[in-house]
A and B are shown apart, each in its own frame.
Chain A
Amino acid sequence: MPEELAATAHQFEDLAQQHEADELGMWVFLGTEVMFFGGLFLGYTVYRHVYFGAFEAGSHLLDLLLGAVNTSVLIASSFTMALSVYAAQKGRKKTLITCLILTMILGSVFLGIKGVEYGQKFHHHLVPGYDFNPEGNFPAHMSLYFSFYFIMTGMHALHMIVGEGLLLVVLILAAKNRFTAAHHATVEVVGIYWHFVDIIWIFLFPLLYLIGGR
């Protein structure tokens, strides 16, 4: 591959230093993300402790099947993302592009299913602050459960959308031959981000869908 494509930015001594800095930067950023979601997990924990019955009842109004399907879709997308990084390391452009596209499709499927779920909640009047009027008897403060449901999954979806955008950038760069076996830090860094967003969901799924057994 031509040298100039793998150029080192002027502030770095060499490419290795640049890659290390890029990766550390992403890890530090994910540290901030842990604290950001941590605030939500804290609020969730407090209110789940105080209003366990309401959280359990709210949880049972979610569509477990869609949630489970979405979880597997997301895990599959993590797998294809890992394959993309592997392909980049080996310098296999075609595999890289295929796996990136697969990851983006799986991510979109996740967001689509999430949208369907949101639609159901609107339909069943389960949206606090907008239209919260569930049918039948429901425990007091169940709206708090749905507040957290929407904020936590909404924040997660927002991060998914950002991730899709990042993947698109990586895809374009890959198509333009900007990565080599020696120079692919961008793919790795976006990969780390994507896995992180998946892991958030791995926590969200049991916390929101699986309260109190079904």
Chain B
Amino acid sequence: MSSLTVDEAPQAASHVHYLNVKFGVKSWLFTTDHKRIALLYLASITFFFFVGGAAAVLMRLHLLTPGGLLVEPATYNKLFTVHGILMVFFFLIPAIPAVLGNFLVPMMIGARDLAFPKLNLLSWYVYILGGLFTLYAVVAGGVDTGWTFYTPYSSTYSNSHVIAAALGIFITGFSSILTGLNFIVTIHKMRAPGLTWFRLPLFIWAIYATSIIFILGTPVLAITIVLVALERLFHIGVFDPALGGDPILFQHMFWFYSHPAVYIMILPGMGVESELITCFSRKKIFGYKFVAMSSLGIALLGFLVWGHHMFVSGQSMYAGMVFSILSYLVAVPSAVKVFNWTATLYKGSISYDAPMLYALGFIGLFTMGGVTGMFLASLGVNVHVHDTYFVIAHFHYIMVGGMVMAYLGGIHFWWPKISGRMYPQGWARFAALVIFVGFNLTFFPQYILGFLGMPRRYAVYPAEFQVLNVMSSAGASILGVGYLIPLIYFIWSMRYGPVASANPWNAKGLEWQTPSPPPTENFEEIPVVTEEAYDYPVREAQVA
């Protein structure tokens, strides 16, 4: 069955597939096809990404001069809050699971759809509803609490639209929960005959681990937000010291979700990474079981490290030590992945197509973000760089350098399957390089700024930090252009791109064994799996 893939190309676009089976707005808004829902997510997520990106551009413009160039300090607070909320809750968290996961999970496991297609559509509407609430909060005057909503500022003192924004996040959380539930049931119950757990693509393992965090973490955020809203509306005292409440309890509950949420934002990227590295090295992945289990390991450990956000919040020294040690442990499964990817590259037959450029960028940037995470996990260093630009640089190396790179790599990899069209390789490689350069120029200076002591979330800064800030702002403009180029050529390719064959990368995996774009039912006949994942032919010459 792996031989059926190559070159039925020329007429490929003429068959009936999920895109041309029906037309019109209604056929999209009422679809229960996981592939169409993935595209609904793709469009809405892209929208939120560019709105959140616009906020970042304004912030970087503002920080060109020490006194602040553009906006009032209060407005600056609202800008970083909007940027954080939109990027975290409306882009990073749903990005790979809701777009690529929705599109690929049923196809990779040889199913016709997810277990609950209507629930899947509902979760998109829930996501949009949450987005509308948040956008309302922005338009009505903004929120200035930061995406972390720390009490008692958020619950008592802030004069901005906290409740609308919090409600938006609360609602969107249910979209995550429903998506995670759908994936878990689908992966458990709907694998094709012969597709055992250890034959699953590693992307599925990563999505499975992510779904576990979705369903165990997100409800805690939901109840936390309910409590903040009640505190704000009725002053019930749960987080108010004047009534006996404890604002630190909020931080515990918030980070109990929001630290695992960091892994929601990177695990799916790691899954994409495993697919890309093995395909473009034309080699079976090194240490399949270790990579699979490290996803679960990260999901599990992720629930035990929230206290490392609170080293200076007044928690006991002993709690701090335990959280510090546990945080170091997260490095183990993460490093297992990085070493296994590089071991897969070793003596592989590597080709530098656009998806692979993103994948290689991911390895470097994620490693830098991960290692600086170790700095932050150690108690002494953390106190020095706490709430500085060092932290900003660290998590942007993970989230932008890691997750966004993996997301773009994944979109480039599966775009022929999604759209049935190829995009211009030259432009795609160029964009990948622009993004890599722009990203490093934006965020590497921020490591130095943070180490020198520039605090985050300030609208002004001492004059000696200006050179590094100008470098960062210059990088941000390059990065912005880098993100616009793919947007343009992807839209272009939908109409004018060369028609893609069923398997343009010669990749393994069930999703490549069905035409591009796939028919609504994904497979004419449910495939039977007889081989392990990534069974690329061994190249004799290289083994010797």
The residue on B at minimum CB distance from A54 is B244
B115 at interface, CB cutoff 8 A: yes
> A36, B220: Cβ atoms under 8 Å?
yes
Give the contact stretch, choosing among A19-27, A87-95, A162-170, A199-207. Answer: A19-27
Choose from A29, A35, A46, A51 the contact partner of B216 (Cβ within 8 Å).
A35
> B181, A25: Cβ atoms under 8 Å?
yes
The residue on B at minimum CB distance from A41 is B223
In the docked arrangement, what's the CA distance between A46 and B114, Å? 40
Choose from A28, A42, A128 the contact partner of B234 (Cβ within 8 Å).
A128
Bits for B230-265, please: 1 = Cβ < 8 Å to A, else 0: 100111111000011110010011000000000000
- In the assembled complex, the CB of A135 is this many whole angstroms from the nearest CB of chain B, namely 20
A213 at interface, CB cutoff 8 A: no
- Considering only residues 184-201 of chain B, those with a C-beta below 8 Å from chain A are 184-186, 188-190
> B217, A21: Cβ atoms under 8 Å?
no
Q: Which residues of A contact B154 (CB under 8 A)?
A: none
Chain B interface size range: 35 or more
> A47, B244: Cβ atoms under 8 Å?
yes
- In the assembled complex, the CB of A29 is this many whole angstroms from the nearest CB of chain B, namely 6
Please give the number of chain A residues whose Cβ is less than 8 angstroms from any Cβ of chain B in the complex: 38
> A20, B189: Cβ atoms under 8 Å?
yes
Q: Which residues of B contact A29 (CB under 8 A)?
A: 181
A137 at interface, CB cutoff 8 A: no
In the docked arrangement, what's the CA distance between A31 and B252, Å? 20
In the docked arrangement, what's the CA distance between A46 and B238, Å? 11
Q: Which residues of B contact A50 (CB under 8 A)?
A: 244, 246
In the docked arrangement, what's the CA distance between A20 and B185, Å? 9
B113 at interface, CB cutoff 8 A: yes
Bits for B446-488, please: 1 = Cβ < 8 Å to A, else 0: 0000000000000000000000000000000000000000000
> A129, B216: Cβ atoms under 8 Å?
no
In the docked arrangement, what's the CA distance between A15 and B520, Å? 21
A177 at interface, CB cutoff 8 A: no
> A141, B113: Cβ atoms under 8 Å?
no
The residue on A at minimum CB distance from B520 is A10
> B222, A10: Cβ atoms under 8 Å?
no
Q: Which residues of A contact B230 (CB under 8 A)?
A: 129, 147, 151
Q: Which of B106, B236, B253 has the most CB of A within 10 A?
A: B236
A39 touching B236 in the complex, CB below 8 Å, given contacts A17-B190, A32-B177 = no
- In the assembled complex, the CB of B101 is this many whole angstroms from the nearest CB of chain A, namely 16
B54 at interface, CB cutoff 8 A: no
A11 touching B243 in the complex, CB below 8 Å, given contacts A129-B236, A147-B238 = no
A63 at interface, CB cutoff 8 A: no
B227 at interface, CB cutoff 8 A: yes
- Considering only residues 107-129 of chain A, those with a C-beta below 8 Å from chain B are 128-129
> B189, A46: Cβ atoms under 8 Å?
no
Q: Which residues of B contact A51 (CB under 8 A)?
A: 244
Choose from B115, B217, B238 the contact partner of A25 (Cβ within 8 Å).
B115
Choose from A42, A54, A143, A147 the contact partner of B253 (Cβ within 8 Å).
A42
> A43, B238: Cβ atoms under 8 Å?
yes
- In the assembled complex, the CB of A156 is this many whole angstroms from the nearest CB of chain B, namely 13
Which DSSP category, helix, strand, loop or mixed, fits chain A's interface?
helix
A144 touching B237 in the complex, CB below 8 Å, given contacts A31-B215, A32-B177, A151-B230 = yes
Q: Which residues of B contact A129 (CB under 8 A)?
A: 230, 233-237
A173 at interface, CB cutoff 8 A: no
In the docked arrangement, what's the CA distance between A31 and B214, Å? 11
Choose from B112, B219, B236, B238 the contact partner of A11 (Cβ within 8 Å).
B112
Q: Which residues of A contact B249 (CB under 8 A)?
A: 43, 46
B79 at interface, CB cutoff 8 A: no
A10 touching B113 in the complex, CB below 8 Å, given contacts A25-B181, A151-B230 = yes
In the docked arrangement, what's the CA distance between A4 and B530, Å? 34
In the docked arrangement, what's the CA distance between A32 and B230, Å? 21
B294 at interface, CB cutoff 8 A: no
- In the assembled complex, the CB of A187 is this many whole angstroms from the nearest CB of chain B, namely 18
> A143, B243: Cβ atoms under 8 Å?
yes
> B181, A28: Cβ atoms under 8 Å?
yes
- In the assembled complex, the CB of A152 is this many whole angstroms from the nearest CB of chain B, namely 10
A21 touching B237 in the complex, CB below 8 Å, given contacts A11-B115, A28-B215 = no
Query: What are 6 residue pairs bridging A and B, where the CB atoms are less than 8 Å apart in the complex?
Result: A10-B112, A11-B112, A12-B115, A21-B116, A35-B216, A47-B238
Starting from the known contacts A28-B184, A39-B227, 12 additional A-B residue pairs (CB-CB under 8 Å) come to A10-B113, A21-B190, A25-B182, A32-B216, A36-B220, A36-B223, A38-B219, A43-B253, A46-B249, A129-B230, A130-B234, A151-B227
Using a CB–CB cutoff of 8 Å, the interface residues on chain A facing chain B are 9-13, 17, 20-21, 24-25, 28-29, 31-33, 35-40, 42-43, 46-47, 50-51, 54, 128-130, 140-141, 143-144, 147-148, 151
